[in-house]
Amino acid sequence: MSVTRESMHGQWSTRWAFILAATGSAVGLGNIWKFPYITGENGGGAFVVVYLICIAVIGIPIMMAEVMIGRRGRRSPINTMRALAKEGRHHPNWQWLGWAGVVAGFLILSYYSVIAGWAMAYVFRAGSSAFVGATADGIGTIFSDLISDPERLLAWHTIFMVITMAVVSRGVAKGLEKAVRYLMPALLVLLLLLLGYSMNSGAFAEGVAFMFAPNFSALSWNGVLIAMGHAFFTLSLGMGAIMVYGSYLPSDASIAKTSVIIALADTGVALIAGLAIFPIVFANGLPTGSGPGLIFQTLPLAFGHMPGGTFFGTLFFVLLVFAAWTSAISLIEPAVTWLVETLHMDRIKASVLTGFMAWFIGIGTVFSFNIWANNKVFGMTFFDFLDYLTANIMLPLGGLIIAVFAGWVMVRGTVKDELQIRNPRLFQTWYVLVRYVTPFAVVLVFIFKLRGDI
Ligand code: PHE
């Protein structure tokens, strides 16, 4: 089958447009909301070390593989996998990876939208000066009042999903570029402001030690799996999001360079978020392992006590919602492109349909924080279960298959041609990483985690 050189869904105007959009996908709730709380739950330093190793050894090579596959195929992930498998004379069953990615995208979006809804609610809390002068207890009450009210959560979840669908229906290559260019740097500036506050909170050293002094006895194999899963989650890997964005990448852009830039930006944001949050946790005697509510119970304290806190707090949550929004778009894009390509559905219909499905599943997450809080699946709430299943199982498995596909199924010449790495040593290193190291590492972590369970 011939390979088209441009996707029917459009193309980024430049390499930078791709970098911005992919960074928009990567930087999201995963960096600012999830990274700090899972670091807190898994004992700090050792967890961060494993996470950083996974980004470097597994994340970056797989990101390159995903972008490369996407650009080669120039179609939705499902059709790309099918076409490229055929090209390499392999079975079209490889398209099932695309399907699994679509399912993972739905499931992630379903709860992602609920958490983004919390951030939306906090725009108004911050705007009404609710945090000014508040104590840790007061802030804790604001948070528990919110999550115990299913109606409010459902309303915010619905609003977030509607705005996501509105953008997806117009095509991602259009408005996204401009918006990301200004709002992402603004978010970074506000994080740096929070970091400045944390440095003066009196417990900065404690926060730094918690994040960077590794204590491996505090880390279980389950923690290692969570760190690895998070490397996939935070870089948007293993489900086709980056593959779809890669399919809009101009042919002459360097895949290696862009992938490294995106990974560095993403990791930088997560580390800054952690460094801003943990000192506040220690300065106020809060528990590090307080779970998904962590940023909602710490950052408001900073905003409540800094000059201009109402303004900065409101702006911060607006930008957080925005960061979540640019990630949410990429979660649904693989499904939408497939519906448009294969069923010839128009983009608006495809967006509404997929958005509605994710919204519906999201109701389960809304309830898991209140009326279903005691209904457990495998000992977890519905939200925890979905998060565990997608981030720690589906994405690493998806990434494993992508690595095998790039390393073993695609013809070496094609891969080389598409990646355009001029330095032969560099290409060889990447090739060895995707052929042997990443698949082996993922399988090993799974095995150790399972052994730990028995
Ligand atoms: N990377 C996003 C975040 O960190 C989440 C995401 C996962 C987006 C998978 C797309 C695909 O918030």
* Domain spans in the chain, listed from the N-terminal domain onward: 15-451
CB of residue 431 inside a 6 A radius of ligand 1: no
27-81: pLDDT as tens digits: 999 999 999 999 999 999 999 999 999 999 999 999 999 999 999 999 999 999 9
233 vs 171, higher pLDDT: 233
CB of residue 28 inside a 6 A radius of ligand 1: yes
> Alpha carbon of 273 to those of 33, 39, 87, 204: distances in Å?
8, 11, 44, 13
> Alpha carbon of 54 to those of 180, 233, 401: distances in Å?
26, 11, 16
**CA-closest candidate to residue 114, choices 165, 150, 142, 167:** 150
d(CA 92, CA 94): 5
CB of residue 234 inside a 6 A radius of ligand 1: yes
Q: How confident is the model at residue 5 (pLDDT cuts 50, 70, 90)?
A: low
Residue type, 10: G
Is pLDDT at 1 greater than 50 in this prediction? no
331 Cα: distance to centroid of ligand 1 (angstroms): 7
246 Cα: distance to centroid of ligand 1 (angstroms): 15
Helices (H), 343-394: 347-368, 382-387
CB of residue 23 inside a 6 A radius of ligand 1: no
137-163: pLDDT as tens digits: 999 999 999 999 999 999 999 999 999
Tokens 């590794």 correspond to 214
Residue 337: strand, helix, or coil: helix
Q: Please check whether residue 370 is in contact with residue 118, taking contact to mean a CB–CB distance below 8 angstroms.
A: no
Residues facing 380 on adjacent strands: 377
Q: Please check whether residue 120 is in contact with residue 318, taking contact to mean a CB–CB distance below 8 angstroms.
A: no
4 Cα: distance to centroid of ligand 1 (angstroms): 28
**CA-closest candidate to residue 437, choices 48, 60, 26, 49:** 60
Domain 15-451, CATH number (from 1.20.1250, 1.10.4160, 1.20.120, 1.10.10):
1.10.4160
Structure tokens that stand for 405 in this block: 């596909």
132-142: pLDDT as tens digits: 999 999 999 99
CB of residue 77 inside a 6 A radius of ligand 1: no
233 Cα: distance to centroid of ligand 1 (angstroms): 5
- The confidence score (pLDDT) of residue 367 equals 98
Give me the mean pLDDT over the 281-300 stretch: 94
Pocket test for ligand 1, best of 38, 172, 233 (most atoms within 8 A of CB): 233
d(CA 101, CA 95): 10
Q: What is the 3-state secondary structure (H, E, C) of 46-102?
A: HHHHHHHHHHHHHHHHHHHHHHHHHHHHCCCHHHHHHHHHHHCCCCHHHHHHHHHHH
End-to-end CA distance of the chain: 47
108 Cα: distance to centroid of ligand 1 (angstroms): 8
Is pLDDT at 314 greater than 90 in this prediction? yes
35 Cα: distance to centroid of ligand 1 (angstroms): 12
d(CA 340, CA 74): 14
Q: How confident is the model at residue 180 (pLDDT cuts 50, 70, 90)?
A: confident
Q: Please check whether residue 246 is in contact with residue 70, taking contact to mean a CB–CB distance below 8 angstroms.
A: yes
CB of residue 30 inside a 6 A radius of ligand 1: yes
30 Cα: distance to centroid of ligand 1 (angstroms): 6
239 Cα: distance to centroid of ligand 1 (angstroms): 10
Q: Please check whether residue 286 is in contact with residue 301, taking contact to mean a CB–CB distance below 8 angstroms.
A: no
Is pLDDT at 445 greater than 90 in this prediction? yes
- Measured in degrees and rounded to the nearest 5, phi and psi for residue 78 equal -60, -50
291 Cα: distance to centroid of ligand 1 (angstroms): 19
Cβ neighbour number for residue 289 with a 10 Å cutoff: 14
CB of residue 47 inside a 6 A radius of ligand 1: no
Most confident of 248-257, 262-271, 443-452: 262-271
Give me the mean pLDDT over the 204-227 stretch: 95
Pocket test for ligand 1, best of 110, 243, 269, 330 (most atoms within 8 A of CB): 330
Q: Please check whether residue 35 is in contact with residue 274, taking contact to mean a CB–CB distance below 8 angstroms.
A: yes
Residue located nearest, by CA, to atom 6 of ligand 1: 236
Q: How confident is the model at residue 2 (pLDDT cuts 50, 70, 90)?
A: very low
Give me the mean pLDDT over the 234-248 stretch: 94
Residues facing 377 on adjacent strands: 380
Pocket test for ligand 1, best of 331, 393, 394, 395 (most atoms within 8 A of CB): 331
Q: Please check whether residue 400 is in contact with residue 232, taking contact to mean a CB–CB distance below 8 angstroms.
A: no
Tokens 């949550």 correspond to 317
Its pTM stands at 0.95
d(CA 211, CA 272): 11
Pocket test for ligand 1, best of 269, 327, 336, 354 (most atoms within 8 A of CB): 327
Q: Please check whether residue 228 is in contact with residue 57, taking contact to mean a CB–CB distance below 8 angstroms.
A: no
149 Cα: distance to centroid of ligand 1 (angstroms): 26
d(CA 25, CA 45): 26
Pocket test for ligand 1, best of 23, 113, 236 (most atoms within 8 A of CB): 236
Is pLDDT at 172 greater than 70 in this prediction? no
- What is the overall mean pLDDT for the chain? 93
Q: How confident is the model at residue 169 (pLDDT cuts 50, 70, 90)?
A: confident
d(CA 373, CA 182): 39
- The confidence score (pLDDT) of residue 147 equals 97
Is pLDDT at 433 greater than 90 in this prediction? yes
d(CA 20, CA 252): 17
- Measured in degrees and rounded to the nearest 5, phi and psi for residue 377 equal -110, 120
Q: Please check whether residue 236 is in contact with residue 105, taking contact to mean a CB–CB distance below 8 angstroms.
A: no
- The confidence score (pLDDT) of residue 8 equals 76
d(CA 247, CA 244): 5
Give percent of the chain above pLDDT 70: 97
CB of residue 42 inside a 6 A radius of ligand 1: no
Give me the mean pLDDT over the 340-346 stretch: 92
**CA-closest candidate to residue 132, choices 12, 259, 307, 274:** 307
CB of residue 331 inside a 6 A radius of ligand 1: yes
CB of residue 110 inside a 6 A radius of ligand 1: no
Atom of ligand 1 nearest to the CA of 29: 12
- The confidence score (pLDDT) of residue 39 equals 97
**CA-closest candidate to residue 226, choices 392, 411, 427:** 392
d(CA 272, CA 243): 27
Cβ neighbors of 244 (< 8 A, separation 6 or more) are 70, 76, 77, 330, 333, 334, 337
d(CA 454, CA 443): 17
CB of residue 295 inside a 6 A radius of ligand 1: no
Residue located nearest, by CA, to atom 9 of ligand 1: 236
Q: Please check whether residue 120 is in contact with residue 162, taking contact to mean a CB–CB distance below 8 angstroms.
A: no
